[in-house]
Amino acid sequence: MNNEKIIDIGTQIVSKILDFPIPELYIIEQSKLPNKEITGIYSFGENEIIFNEEWVNRSQWIEVIITVFHEMRHAYQGYCIRTKTRESAETIKAWESEINCYIMPSGKNNGIDDQSYLTQEIEIDAIAFAHWIVKKEFDLKTVIPDLIKKKVNEKIKTFEIIGITQINL
């Protein structure tokens, strides 16, 4: 199965689990992205997920599906903000504040340079969601940066408590 099909399947899985519409999806040249380390990015303003074409073409399926789950969680965050539904008013307000003052990754792909990026609540939420779904659906663990491991694990517990339904692939 090619990675474009993985993107399609992954977006459908999350759309069903979280019951919200799939945003527009694009695969573009790496040179058109803010930095070459970006694998995928969600645009709140445009409600679209953009994937790095070169990265998609050279990556293993599991890396692609992790990115899809992560970016789809950002799309869900955007949906909640736009509709003012699904999450608490406090959560929506925090997510909206971070989206309005979003800190991009440095492009250096390390925890020290990316501390401000990684510690945003919207990133912790998306990392935790992707980790949780990959573990639940494929019984695989993803790497969680030490800097945010405690917060990510706390967030994963909330997903387990609310009991998001498993989708059979």
Angle at the Cα of 9 from the Cα atoms of 6 and 14, rounded to 5 degrees? 120
Q: Over range 131-160, report the average pLDDT.
A: 93
Q: Packing angle between helix 121-138 and helix 149-162, nearest 10 degrees?
A: 60
Q: What is the pLDDT of residue 165?
A: 53
CA 113: distance to chain centroid? 20
Q: What is the pLDDT of residue 140?
A: 95
Confidence label for 25 from pLDDT (cuts 50, 70 and 90): very high
* 70-108: pLDDT as tens digits: 999 999 999 999 999 999 999 999 999 999 999 988 877
Q: What is the pLDDT of residue 17?
A: 92
Q: Over range 35-49, report the average pLDDT.
A: 95
Containing 41, the helix (H) or strand (E) segment is strand 40-43
Is 22 a residue whose pLDDT tops 80? Answer: yes
Query: Regarding predicted confidence, which is higher, 36 or 75?
Result: 75
Q: Over range 32-54, report the average pLDDT.
A: 95
Burial (CB < 10 A; 0-12, 13-18, 19+), residue 160, is exposed
Distances (CA, A) of 98 to 86, 115, 120, 135: 18, 15, 7, 27
Q: What is the pLDDT of residue 164?
A: 65
- Cα–Cα distance, 51 to 43 (Å, whole number): 11
Helix-strand-coil split of the chain, %, nearest 5:
60, 10, 35
pTM, entire model = 0.94
Is 166 a residue whose pLDDT tops 60? Answer: no
Is 168 a residue whose pLDDT tops 50? Answer: no
